[in-house]
Amino acid sequence: MHLLDVKGVTKHFGGIKAIEDVSFKIKQESIVSIIGPNGAGKTTLFNCLTGLTALTRGRIAFMDADISKLPAHRILEAGIARTFQNIRLFPDMSVIENVMVAQHSTIKYGFASAVFRTPGFRKSELDAGQKAFEYLELAGIGSFAEQPANSLSYGNQRRLEIARALAAGPKLILLDEPTAGMNPSETAEVMKLIREIRGLGKTVVLIEHDMKLVMGISDRIVVLDHGVKISEGPPDEVRADPMVIEAYLGREALH
């Protein structure tokens, strides 16, 4: 079954064609990379998939339901979460509080329960804290749970963003340059984390410039150039595609 079906997605900003007629499908429990040069439309595509940017035309189906016109919070509730190229944390809140905040769409209690801190409310908060810590442990930063988010290193802040996205309970998680600014050792750890996320039954789509990571972890790769899809397929096919080599990667970067 295809979890996500993108058909003819187009986004124009005035006379600028950021994305033009992009189509692809993503299977459940797969890892798919979206690559391309700067300005290729990758983050705009993520914004369209998550309801932050309205489509000019096209259709996005998630679990066979049309989500093309849903607002961002409804798409999150439907089961799609993301991280951002520029880290967006609550810097003065603790690491674990940042993750607990992401569970708001899955925690069910009424206004009165919150005001009077009923037993049901307290249990929900306790459960949320336990789940948040489990996601932090998965991301390898459980030992920092009580520290302010702004005290984390850059790499660990990216891990925190991933943990927070997971806490929203998504079926599909979109990672926008998850290893940006990381050294090779940190990148290898994130590759392992992405595989573990897939092992939880999640589907992962990532924007990434590290070709070693892309070629080593992806089931399929979608290549954009100037907002147009120029190639799609398994890593070996994309690696050998002359259009990809010419438009973006260069012969040396593919090996």
Domain assignments of the chain as residue spans, ordered by start: 1-79+170-255, 87-169
Protein fold of 87-169: Rossmann fold (3.40.50)
What is this structure's pTM? 0.87
- Report the alpha-carbon distance of residue 187 to residue 167 in Å, rounded: 22
Which pLDDT tens digit goes with each residue over 231-253? 999 999 998 999 998 876 554 44
- Report the alpha-carbon distance of residue 159 to residue 197 in Å, rounded: 12
Q: With left for phi above 0 and alpha for psi between -120 and 50, is residue 140 left, alpha or beta?
A: left
Superfamily of domain 1-79+170-255: P-loop containing nucleotide triphosphate hydrolases (3.40.50.300)
Q: Which whole number is the average pLDDT over 151-167?
A: 93
* pLDDT for 206: 97
- Listed in sequence order, the residues at least 6 apart from 210 whose beta carbon sits closer than 8 Å to its beta carbon are 179, 187
Which pLDDT tens digit goes with each residue over 182-216? 899 999 999 999 999 999 999 999 999 898 899 99
* pLDDT for 113: 53
Do residues 91 and 199 lie in contact, with contact meaning Cβ atoms separated by under 8 Å?
Answer: no
Choice between 178 and 104, residue whose per-residue pLDDT is larger? 178
Q: Same CATH fold, 87-169 and 1-79+170-255?
A: yes
Q: In what helix (H) or strand (E) does residue 125 lie, and over which residues does it extend?
A: helix 119-138
94-128 b/e (C-beta count within 10 Å ≥ 16 → b):
bbbbbbbbbbeeeeeeeeeeeeeeeeebeebbeeb
